[in-house]
Structure 1
Amino acid sequence: MSSTHVPSTTATPSVVDGEVARGLAVGGQALVEGVLMRGPDRVAMAARQPDGSIALRIEHVPAWSVRVGGVPLVRGVVALVESVHVGMRALQWSATIADPERRTPRATAGSLVGALLAVVAAFAVFTALPAVVASWTVPAVGPVGRTVVEGLLGVVLLVAYIASVRRHPMVLRTFGYHGAEHKAVSAYEGDGPLDVRTASRFTTRHERCGTTFMLDVAVLSAAMHTVTNVVWPEGPAMLAARLLAIPVVAGVAYEVIRVAGRHTDRRWGRLLTRPGMWLQALTTAEPDDGQLEVALVALRAALPAAPVTADPAG
């Protein structure tokens, strides 16, 4: 684990073709005033500091993730666990970079408690509430109809929630970093120079986005529940069946995104990715040049051939 600071510039310098390894799978997520990028063997986090410079933190990809990351279906579950494991820590780090007052133990503990409460609240709203409401419709629509109602209600609540929080300036800015992450990855995949001017030409949407994964999980979960609700319509057995189905759904959703993302030149590939691309209209925003700069710093640091001068004491 290492960290360093990158001076702010008006534009990120170009990277000459050949200085970075092309054709490798990269991805990331938005942070607080920053971006996380995950390469084949390391994770790079870049965040803007109050003085305008960019803080950079680099970690190795967890060994357990590398060992099983190439196994079909299993890699989807691994990706989900890794994104939660690494992503939560990256969010906490970026929050302390953007706001140094958060570095106190009390602030850190408060942030972790808040994150835990947010996860519990999300589960209650997007999973428990649709299940409870849908259960009231059983006499009228039956077990299969109940699953349809539950699935539709879950998607509606998800979209309504995203549209609501998007109005907050801080959330909208984070969505701008999400757009910057997509533009940077697209510039890399397009084999162009990794600079702000090139990245700005790309769209803020991307076929392999976590938003698409989230939507696919919601749809596949509804399909899975259609089967399990007939056998275990209620009670502890239903809950156990749903919990056991989570890794299966995550694994299948991940494979769907991978296959569709490689075949966007075909109609069926575009059809599979289109709903997720629509939803990204809410979860991304057009970034400014400073946000693109941060995303590109993280991207270059995550690539195997990227030169990094790090301070081990960080």
Structure 2
Amino acid sequence: FNTSKRKGITSLPLIRGVIAFVDSMVLGIKSLTYSASFFEDEDYEEQPSKFDEFLEKKFGEKAENFIMGVVVAISVVISVALFMMLPLAIADLLKKHVGGVTETMVPAIEGLAKIFIFLVYLLLISQMKDIKRTFMYHGAEHKCINCLETGNELTVDNVRAASRYHKRCGTSFLFFVIFISIIFFIFIRTDNVAMRYLIRIALIPVIAGISYECIRFAGVRDNIIVTIISAPGKFIQKITTKEPTDDMIEVGIAAVEAVFDWREYLRGNGIYVPEPVNDKYVLDEEDGYYE
């Protein structure tokens, strides 16, 4: 969710949240596709299908981008149907067929249904072998970030000791999306069933933008309010992050080093970090250390 390099309208509050949401979804799908390629049988060379040949002929080098766009679009449609339309349908059915359920109760029922479906979804996919590994790498990612933010060098021992929960996690972002949508639709109501669904779809960018700003706020402040609003997200991270193995931690460290000069970051915060030599920290005799 890094928007620090964005300029112009894409760096504005609310808008940057929508852009970050789309970027993270595209990057996530690309990363999963790339990592999955390493588990394919290297001795088996898959022949392109007629559909692959059609896309290659039609779009050329942009075929991969086209496929990625379709995958993202399908993912958004499924997410909207599962986490927005289905809860509303459940609430409307209960109002229609269960006595005592009033119009004012519909948003609360819809919200509870969203949370229930979301948790069940996470619990189910967490049982998949590949997703379990993904969640372990997710834990390694959080540990690396927490290790740095507490002023420690990125070593396997330091990272292992760090927390696997983080306030700016994408899981917390999804919880904020659900929570803020509940608040929105308590006040935005209509008796027209079709309009209910259209309003929810239309407000997705607004809700995503506000949720992103909440995550940014929680990430740079540490007080009782932030602790309270971050608690549900950290609870959900018990599902979406797992304790990583040491080799996963090493991958996490390598990933950080590929995109971020963490040594310079620590030095900027007044922490002395020796330069690595052959993956070992070495200082000259003047500094009191030796090779």
TM over 0.5: yes
TM range (shorter): 0.7 to 0.9
Q: What is residue 239 of structure 1 aligned with on the other side?
A: 197
Poorly superposed stretches of 4+, deviation over 6 Å? 111-116
Q: Distance in 2 between matches of 1:290 and 1:244?
A: 44
Q: Which has the larger radius of gyration?
A: 2
Greater helix share, structure number: 2
Structure 2 residue 28 is matched with structure 1 residue 95: no
Instruction: Give the TM-score of the pair, scaled to structure 1.
Output: 0.69
- What's the CA shift for 1:119? 5.0
8 Å contact from structure 2 (residues 3, 20) kept in 1: no
CA RMSD of aligned residues (A): 3.0
- What's the CA shift for 1:285? 0.3
Q: What is residue 134 of structure 2 aligned with on the other side?
A: 174
Q: Distance in 1 between matches of 2:3 and 2:216?
A: 16
- What's the CA shift for 1:68? 4.3
- What's the CA shift for 1:103? 8.2
Q: 1:292 aligns with which of 239, 243, 249?
A: 249
Q: Which amino acid is the alignment partner of residue 162 of structure 1? A: L
Residues 286 and 68 of structure 1: CA distance in aligned 2, closer, same or farther (over 3 Å) = farther
- What's the CA shift for 1:115? 7.3
Q: 1:223 aligns with which of 183, 187, 194?
A: 183
Q: 1:72 aligns with which of 6, 10, 13?
A: 13
Q: Distance in 2 between matches of 1:126 and 1:84?
A: 16
Q: Distance in 1 between matches of 2:115 and 2:227?
A: 20
Q: What is residue 276 of structure 1 aligned with on the other side?
A: 233
Greater strand share, structure number: 1
Residues 124 and 72 of structure 1: CA distance in aligned 2, closer, same or farther (over 3 Å) = closer
- What's the CA shift for 1:304? 5.5
Q: What is residue 257 of structure 1 aligned with on the other side?
A: 215
Q: 1:131 aligns with which of 67, 75, 88?
A: 88
Q: What is residue 147 of structure 1 aligned with on the other side?
A: 107
Residues 163 and 103 of structure 1: CA distance in aligned 2, closer, same or farther (over 3 Å) = farther
8 Å contact from structure 2 (residues 3, 16) kept in 1: no
Q: Which amino acid is the alignment partner of residue 248 of structure 1? A: V
Residues 202 and 124 of structure 1: CA distance in aligned 2, closer, same or farther (over 3 Å) = same
8 Å contact from structure 2 (residues 85, 197) kept in 1: no
Q: Which amino acid is the alignment partner of residue 143 of structure 1? A: E
Higher RCO, 1 or 2 (CA under 8 Å, sep at least 6)? 1
Q: Where does structure 2 lack aligned partners over 5 or more consecutive residues? A: 53-62, 264-291
Q: Distance in 2 between matches of 1:199 and 1:133?
A: 44
8 Å contact from structure 2 (residues 138, 242) kept in 1: yes
